Amino acid sequence: MTMAKPKYELILLKNMLQPGYTGSLADYERAGGYQALRKILGKVAPAEVTAMVTKSGLRGRGGAGFPAGIKWGFLPKDYQGPKYLCCNADESEPGTFKDRQLMERDPHQVLEGIAIACYAIGAETAYIYIRGEFVLGAKILEKAIAEARAAGYLGKNVLGAGVTIDVWVHRGAGAYICGEETALLESLEGKRGLPRVKPPFPATAGLYGKPTVINNVETLANLPHIITRGPEWFASIGSPPKSTGMRIFCVSGHVKRPGNYEVPMGITCRDLIFEHAGGMRSDKPLKAIIPGGASASFFTPEHLDVKLDFESVAQAGSMLGSGGVTVMEEGTSMVWAALRLMEFFHHESCGKCSPCREGSSWLVQTLRRIVNKRGRMQDLETLTDLCQNIAGRTVCAFGDAEVAPILSTLKYWRHEYEELIRTAEANGSSELLMPAAARH
C-alpha cells in the first residue's frame, strides 16, 4: 500500500516521501537540511530564537499541547549552571506511531530540531529518551548523531560558533509512564519511573535538579522549518491563532488505509478518516472514534465534523492529545473496547498514587465482570464513582487519562453496558456482592 499524492504541502514527511531518500546526512543536506542551524548559530541571539518559536504558535505534539516557546521562556534567565534538553521519544500512548517514523526515516530533521532547541535554551547536553522497544530507531539515531558530529553539526564548537551540543540516546525499558515528563526524568536518572510532584516544574528543577526542557520528537522536528521559513509562515498554516502548523495523525483501526497522515491542523475527522485514510475497511458503518490517543474520550459519528485542532476537539469534550486517531466500526463492543484500554492502564499504572493503583485494578475487575456477562446494575454506579475518585486525585495526568475511555463510553453507549448486565441478570449469572458462603 502506498501513499496517494498528498493534498497539502508537507513539512515533516516531505523529505522521506521523496523517492530514494534514505535519511542519511547527505540526503538531508541535499534537501536543505541544517540550513536553519547555520542561519542562527552565532548569528541570532538565543532569546530571539525562542521569540520566533513563540511567534510561530508551535504547540507541543506530545499530548498536552503547551506552547513550546513559552515553555522555553520559563527557564531561569540569569542561571549559569548546566541546563538540559530531553527529547521525549517514548511514544507510548496507544494509537500513536509517528515519532517512530520521524526518527527512523529522517533522523537528522529531529537532530537539527534538538540542536536548535539546545541553542535557544542554552543547553549543552540533550538526551533522547527513546522507548526501549525501538531498537532500530535507537540505532538509526546513534548513527545519525555520529554523522552529525563528524560534520560539525553536533559536539564541541558546533559550526565553529563556540557552542557545545552533545546529544545522547537513552533507551527506556518498557514503561508507559516514562512518557510523562517527570517520570521520564526519574527514569533517566536511573530510578523507577515515578512521576514527580509539580511544582517545582522541570523548567526550574528538572534533570539532576537543573533547569530542563522536555519536548516531543514531532515538536522538535518542526523547529528547522520554523527557522528557515519564518514564524509567520508557520503561523499561517492550520487553524491559527491557537493551533498552527501541520500535524501528523496516526490513523488506526477499521479504516482502509491506516497510517501516518500529515495534514494542516483543523481538518475535520471526516476528512482525515474518509479522504486520507480511505474510509471504512468494509461496508460496516463507523461507530466510534478516539481522536487523540488512548487517553482521549471517545467520539461518535456525530462528531465527524469536529475540526482536529486543540480547541475544537476540547470543546467537543475530548482532546487532540498525541494525534492517535482510532476508528471503530459498527459491531465493535464499546464495553470490550473500554476494557482493553483499561487493562492497558492497569498494567501501566506506576503504583505511586493509591487512587490510580487500586482504582485501576477495581475498574478492570468491574469491566471484566460486565463483559463476561456476570455484571450487575450497581456496577455502573461503581464505575462512575471509581472514575470520579481517580480523576484529579493523582500526581500526574495518568489518572485523568485512564477514566476518559470509561466515562465517555458510559456516556454514549450506556445501553451496551446495560444490555450485557441484563443478560447476566436474566441468566442468573450476575456475580453476587459477596461469595455465597459469606452471606447469612
Partner 1 sequence: MLREKYKAEIDEILSRYPLRRSALLPLLYLAQKEEGYVTEAAMKEIASILKITPPQVYETVTFYTMLNLRPVGKFHIQVCKSLMCALVGSDTLLGWLEVRLGIKPGNTTKDGLFTLSKVECLAACGTGPMMQINDDYYERLTEEKVDRILADLKRDGTSSLKSGPFMWPERTDG
Ligand X SMILES: Cc1cc2nc3c(=O)[nH]c(=O)nc-3n(C[C@H](O)[C@H](O)[C@H](O)COP(=O)(O)O)c2cc1C
The reply to whether 189 sits near partner 1 by the rule CB under 8 A is yes
Q: Indicate whether 88 belongs to the interface with ligand X (CB under 6 A).
A: yes
Residue 326 interacts with, from ligand X, partner 1, none (CB under 5-8 Å by kind): partner 1
Residue 30 neighbours by CB distance under 10 Å: 12
Rounded Cα distance between 139 and 328, Å, is 35
Instruction: Decide: is 309 part of the binding site for partner 1 (CB under 8 A).
Output: no
> Does residue 366 belong to the site contacting ligand X (CB under 6 A)?
no
Q: Which residue has the cell 501541520?
A: 246
Question: Which residue in the set 109, 219, 260, 326 belongs to the binding site for ligand X (CB under 6 A)?
Answer: 219
Nearest in space to 241 (alpha carbons), one of 50, 8, 55 = 55
344 interacts with ligand X by CB under 6 A: no
Which of 397, 418, 423, 429 is in the footprint of ligand X by CB under 6 A?
Answer: 397
Sequential DSSP letters for 234-301: HHTSEETTTEESEEEEEEEESBSS-EEEEEETT-BHHIIIIIIS-SBSSSSPEEEEESSSTTSPPB-G
Can residue 396 be called a binding residue for ligand X (CB under 6 A)?
Answer: yes
Q: For the sheet containing 286-290, what is the strand order?
A: 259-264, 246-253, 324-329, 286-290
> What is the grid cell recorded at 262?
500529515
Span of 91-99, 149-157, 242-250, 329-337 interacting with ligand X by CB under 6 A: 91-99
Distance (Å) of CA 288 to CA 126, 298, 310, 323: 40, 7, 19, 16
Contact partner, 354, from ligand X, partner 1, none, Cβ < 5-8 Å per class? none
Segment holding 399, helix H or strand E: helix 398-412
* 215 binds ligand X, rule: CB under 6 A: yes
Instruction: Kindly write down the DSSP assignment for every residue of 120-186, as one continuous string.
Output: HHT-SEEEEEE-TT-HHHHHHHHHHHHHHHHTTSSBSSGGGSS--BEEEEEE--S-GGGGSHHHHHH
Residues 6 and 275: beta-carbon distance below 8 Å: no
- Stretch 148-187 residues interacting with ligand X (CB under 6 A): 177, 179-181
Q: Say if residues 349 and 360 touch (Cβ distance below 8 Å).
A: yes
Site for partner 1 in 196-255 (CB under 8 A): 208, 250-254
Minimum CB distance to ligand X smaller for 215 or for 430? 215
**Which listed residue (3, 47, 426, 432) binds partner 1 by CB under 8 A?**
3
92, 244, 318, 333: residue in contact with ligand X (rule CB under 6 A): 92
Q: Exactly one of 23, 57, 62, 258 binds ligand X (CB under 6 A); which one? A: 62
Stretch that binds ligand X, among 107-115, 258-266, 307-315, 394-402 (CB under 6 A): 394-402
Helix (H) or strand (E) holding 363, with range, is helix 354-371
- Selected binder of partner 1 within 50, 56, 88, 92 (CB under 8 A): 92
416 is an interface residue for ligand X by CB under 6 A:
no
Nearest-approach distance from CB 91 to partner 1, in angstroms: 5
Build a one-symbol-per-residue string for 93-112: x at contacts with partner 1 by CB under 8 A, - elsewhere. xxxxx-xxx--xx-------
The backbone torsions φ and ψ at residue 388, rounded to the nearest 5 degrees and listed phi first, read -65, -25
Return the range that interacts with partner 1 (CB under 8 A); candidates 35-43, 262-270, 308-316, 335-343.
335-343
DSSP label at 57? T
What angle do helix axes 107-121 and 135-150 make, rounded to 10 degrees? Answer: 60
Number of residues forming the site for partner 1 (CB under 8 A): 68
Instruction: Please give the Cα distance from 5 to 357 (Å, whole number).
Output: 47
Binding site for partner 1 (CB under 8 A): 1-4, 16-20, 23, 82, 91-97, 99-101, 104-105, 131-136, 140, 168, 170-176, 187-193, 208, 250-254, 257-260, 294, 324, 326, 328, 332, 337, 340-341, 343-344, 347-348, 350
Binding site for ligand X (CB under 6 A): 60-64, 66, 88, 90-93, 177, 179-181, 214-216, 219, 396-398, 401
